[in-house]
């Protein structure tokens, strides 16, 4: 809700949000986060500085807001995300010459301790997948498809939910995925996963009325799946794994990337498979392969 903005700034904020949606092609979820961050900041300006025009913000006001978020116990990562929303907005105003100086320019992001991605042990995980047993009903069999898809392709939760039958190219053994900022990428699919998907689509056509535009993963009524549904399914099975700290769909993405790198996959190739925009995002997984590299060094180097 942007009700606390005055008329002019409300109009500019709406223009900014439209810019994010239609020019930057951000997802509706991301745009809502930006809107929420700007609204929260405006509430702070109104209460703390009696200011209803966000476009008159000063550096002191931004710094004061950041300190208030920290005092409230907000994690540094969350504070930085909100600060990034302000930066984007004021850069937008600067480019359109609505303001002459950017009040966030001298504000530094907070230092964030980088957590290494949680991933499952390769031997334990592949054995775990091979010996999982599922009931014969459609929804139970779909749970296998969900696990195999997340691990076999490394796709994100949102990407899984958005998949449709037509995204699978069976002759070429590929999967077309719509990732962040509506960027498409094509991922190869292994033979066993391809057969699993083929059978899944066949069974789904008997369980529900479907066509090529139908969602690949569905809820119990045949409609599109949703995040909490996937989380519950994944957590139910990953709770059986001792080598995995976090039991989430994203942990399977981490596991996918780490296992590829452990097997010698090229870092740039893994970057493309994951749909990362920069190599830096993919390089975090190289930390997980350090033990593997040490093992190779110990076995191969004469002075090890």
Q: Which residues participate in catalysis according to the annotation?
A: 156, 180, 250, 253, 276, 285
Are the C-beta atoms of residues 217 and 142 closer than 8 Å to each other?
Answer: yes
Instruction: Give the burial class of 172: count Cβ atoms within 10 A of its Cβ; 0-12 exposed, 13-18 middle, 19 or more buried.
Output: exposed
DSSP letter at 114 equals P
Are the C-beta atoms of residues 235 and 251 closer than 8 Å to each other?
Answer: no
Helix (H, G, I), strand (E, B) or coil at 111: coil
Element (H, E) at 128: helix 122-130
Bridge pairing between strands 174-178 and 184-188: antiparallel
Are the C-beta atoms of residues 106 and 90 closer than 8 Å to each other?
Answer: no
How far apart CA 10 and CA 36 sit, in angstroms, is 13
Nearest to 143 by CA among 219, 253, 242: 219
How far apart CA 42 and CA 91 sit, in angstroms, is 17
How far apart CA 65 and CA 209 sit, in angstroms, is 52
Which residue in the block uniquely carries the two structure tokens 């699993």? Answer: 196
104 contact partners, CB below 8 Å, separation of at least 6: 59, 62, 83, 86, 87, 90
């Amino acid at each position: 809700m942007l009700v606390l903005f005055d008329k002019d700034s409300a109009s500019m904020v709406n223009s900014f949000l439209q810019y994010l949606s239609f020019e930057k092609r951000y997802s509706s979820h991301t745009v809502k986060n930006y809107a929420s961050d700007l609204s929260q900041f405006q509430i702070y300006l109104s209460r703390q500085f009696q200011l209803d025009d966000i476009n008159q913000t000063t550096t002191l006001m931004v710094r004061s807001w950041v300190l208030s978020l920290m005092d409230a116990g907000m994690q540094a990562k969350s504070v930085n995300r909100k600060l990034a929303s302000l930066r984007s907005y004021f850069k937008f105003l600067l480019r359109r010459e609505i303001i002459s100086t950017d009040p966030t320019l001298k504000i530094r992001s907070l230092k964030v301790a980088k957590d290494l991605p949680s991933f499952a042990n390769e031997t334990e995980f592949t054995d775990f997948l091979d010996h999982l047993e599922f009931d014969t009903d459609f929804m139970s069999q779909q749970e296998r498809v969900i696990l195999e898809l997340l691990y076999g392709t490394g796709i994100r939760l949102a990407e899984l939910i958005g998949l449709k039958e037509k995204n699978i190219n069976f002759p070429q053994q590929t999967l077309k995925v719509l990732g962040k900022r509506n960027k498409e990428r094509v991922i190869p699919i292994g033979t066993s996963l391809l057969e699993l998907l083929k059978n899944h689509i066949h069974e789904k056509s008997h369980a529900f009325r479907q066509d090529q535009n139908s969602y690949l993963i569905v809820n119990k009524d045949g409609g599109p799946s949703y995040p909490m549904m996937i989380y519950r399914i994944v957590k139910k099975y990953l709770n059986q794994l001792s080598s995995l700290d976090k039991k989430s769909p994203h942990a399977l993405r981490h596991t996918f990337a780490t296992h590829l790198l452990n097997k010698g996959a090229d870092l740039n190739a893994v970057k493309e498979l994951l749909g990362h925009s920069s190599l830096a995002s993919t390089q975090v997984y190289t930390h997980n392969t350090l033990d593997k590299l040490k093992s190779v060094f110990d076995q191969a180097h004469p002075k090890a």
